[in-house]
Amino acid sequence: MTVIIHQQRQYFNTGETLDPSYRIAQLKKLKQAIKDHDYFIYDALRKDLNKPLFESYATELASVYSELDYMIKHVRNFARPKRVGTSLAHFYSKSHIHQEPYGTVLIIAPWNYPIQLSFVPLIGALAAGNTVILKPSEMAPATSHIIKAIIESVFPREYVAVEEGDGSVSQALLQEGVDYCLFTGSSQVGKSIMETASQSLTPVTLELGGKSPVIVAPDTNIKHAAQRIVWGKFVNAGQTCIAPDYLIVHEDIKDELIQKMSEVIHEFYGMSPVTQPDYPRIINQKHFDRLTALLEGTTIYHGGKSDPETLTIEPTIVLDPDLDSELMQEEIFGPILPVITYQETGEAVNFIRSKEKPLALYLFTQNNTLKKYIKTHVSFGGGAINDTLIHQSNHNMPFGGVGNSGIGAYHGKYSLETFSHPKAILEKTDAFDIKLRYPPYTDTILKVLQKFL
Ligand code: NAD
């Protein structure tokens, strides 16, 4: 067993993390440490992704602080055993559910929101009383280093350890057998995580990706839809797991919508986004090359320019792409938005259903029947009506995918549930014993039992 897993197991077994007061104190320490390092966080995000300060706060740190505040407020109540009803057949008994931390949790994070997607699961796992090994992404090295520095400034390694490196580091830890693993990343790597975890029956939460559609119906407020779609697609240069991947817009309003979106892109990013100091870059050369290759042979309605020096790609709208092309088959994960059209709702629904279940779906419409139809007839992780992305920031709702886009969910109380085993205990009086259930069985007793139950 690697030293760190052994050390964390020993520390967990001291029972220190079981005390809610201890957990709250650690979360408060973590909050202070993050605040103390916020300048370095902004700097690291700038280095790795050229994230502007506003986006670094609004889409990374704000979620971390909100999750910390939620946990500090609610962990004591969550940790309390909950009494539940007991059937009459077990009278003079009481039943409780105890939320038991799993033990040592492995958290594997991606590079696109490297602060939020490392700290938010970490906060849930600690609030639930676990020790944690965190493996940030090697693709955002500056942020990975600052995460390690923050953690080491407040926690001993036997409580929280940061292990830097590539996928081989996570695989080695998983192979040793941790008590729980939360992985955020691609569906492809997710499968490999689940395969390795299956060897030790380690339970997993998989937060994956996929192609998240936006349906725009003909009765939509076009101006608002254009602003909200452009914002959700191009924030972080489209490198967002729940970003709109493609637009499926009603034929009648297509021209008006794309024209408005084009105006909005100019309004938000100016006439030359690739030279804008606040426009995020693509994470690395490999992804830059992958994305620019997706544009080959397409009909570009807006944008399309890129700069290999700064690894930036303009917000780009592609019209009527070949549905068999990679652009329409693979998750885009960059600032390219293909637009296709539909005439009947059924066409849009069938198209979405012909693909893997998406992580998110967005619907723009005023029509309540349509809203209800999409909510009940299309399977997806979560989503929003008349907006994009924002469902993810409500910690009263679970965040997770379904099918190819993930297994399990977290955020707020769902994180506490994810990182705890609900241990069911029935406690019986030993003052007397009713012999009804013991052999030898008789028909009379069976009849009494059937009546009773
Ligand atoms: P990735 O799957 O390549 O890597 C994610 C993490 O896994 C990294 O820490 C990486 O080092 C590690 N890793 C890579 N290969 C591994 C292997 N073979 N075994 C074990 N660990 C391995 O993903 P990424 O490129 O960092 O992120 C992009 C993907 O993540 C996109 O598909 C996106 O949709 C998805 N994503 C999902 C969410 C969500 O919350 N559902 C959030 C962000 C990103």
Determine the pLDDT at residue 272.
93
Confidence class for position 145, pLDDT limits 50, 70, 90: very high
Confidence class for position 437, pLDDT limits 50, 70, 90: confident
pLDDT at 452 over 80: no
Question: Using alpha carbons only, what angle is made at residue 184 by residues 183 and 186, rounded to the nearest 5 degrees?
Answer: 110
- Give the rounded percent of residues in the chain with a pLDDT score beyond 90: 93
Rounded distance, CA 49 to CA 56, Å? 10
* 8 A C-beta contact, residue 55 and residue 111: no
pLDDT at 1 over 60: no
Over the stretch 6-30, which tens digit does the pLDDT of each residue have?
A: 999 999 999 999 999 999 999 999 9
Mean pLDDT of 262-284: 95
Is 433 in a helix, a strand, or coil?
A: coil
Q: Which residue has the higher pLDDT, 304 or 446?
A: 304
CA of 441 from ligand 1 middle (Å) equals 58
* Helix 62-79 / helix 20-36 crossing angle, nearest 10 deg: 170
What pTM was estimated for this model as a whole? Answer: 0.96
Please list the active-site residues: 207, 241
Both tokens of 373, joined, read 């139809």
Asked if residue 207 has its Cβ within 6 Å of ligand 1, the reply is yes
Rounded distance, CA 124 to CA 405, Å? 21
Mean pLDDT of 74-90: 92
Task: Tell me whether residue 24 is exposed, middle or buried, using C-beta atoms within 10 angstroms of its C-beta: 0 to 12, 13 to 18, 19 or more.
Answer: middle
Over the stretch 293-341, which tens digit does the pLDDT of each residue have?
A: 999 999 999 999 999 999 999 999 999 999 999 999 999 999 999 999 9
Rounded distance, CA 331 to CA 256, Å? 26
Determine the pLDDT at residue 89.
76
Asked if residue 130 has its Cβ within 6 Å of ligand 1, the reply is no
Asked if residue 162 has its Cβ within 6 Å of ligand 1, the reply is no
Determine the pLDDT at residue 217.
98
Task: Tell me whether residue 199 is exposed, middle or buried, using C-beta atoms within 10 angstroms of its C-beta: 0 to 12, 13 to 18, 19 or more.
Answer: exposed
Q: Give bridge partners of residue 96 from the DSSP assignment.
A: 83, 425
Mean pLDDT of 421-449: 90
Over the stretch 165-178, which tens digit does the pLDDT of each residue have?
A: 999 999 999 999 99
Q: Which of 48, 63, 106, 112 to mutate to test the pocket of ligand 1 (most atoms within 8 A of CB)?
A: 112
Q: Which residue has the tokens 């920031």?
A: 393
Q: Which residue has the higher pLDDT, 92 or 154?
A: 154
Is 44 in a helix, a strand, or coil?
A: helix
CA of 186 from ligand 1 middle (Å) equals 4
Mean pLDDT of 235-251: 98
Rounded distance, CA 226 to CA 243, Å? 14
Q: Which atom of ligand 1 is found nearest the CA of 405?
A: 41
Mean pLDDT of 31-37: 98
CA of 365 from ligand 1 middle (Å) equals 33
Query: Mean pLDDT for the chain?
Result: 96
Both tokens of 331, joined, read 């998750």
Mean pLDDT of 221-250: 98
Determine the pLDDT at residue 446.
87
Could you please report the per-residue DSSP string of 62-113?
A: HHHHHHHHHHHHHHHHHHS-EEE---GGG-SEEEEEEEEE-SEEEEE--SSS
Determine the pLDDT at residue 448.
81
Is 315 in a helix, a strand, or coil?
A: coil
CA of 116 from ligand 1 middle (Å) equals 14
Name the DSSP letter for residue 410.
Answer: B
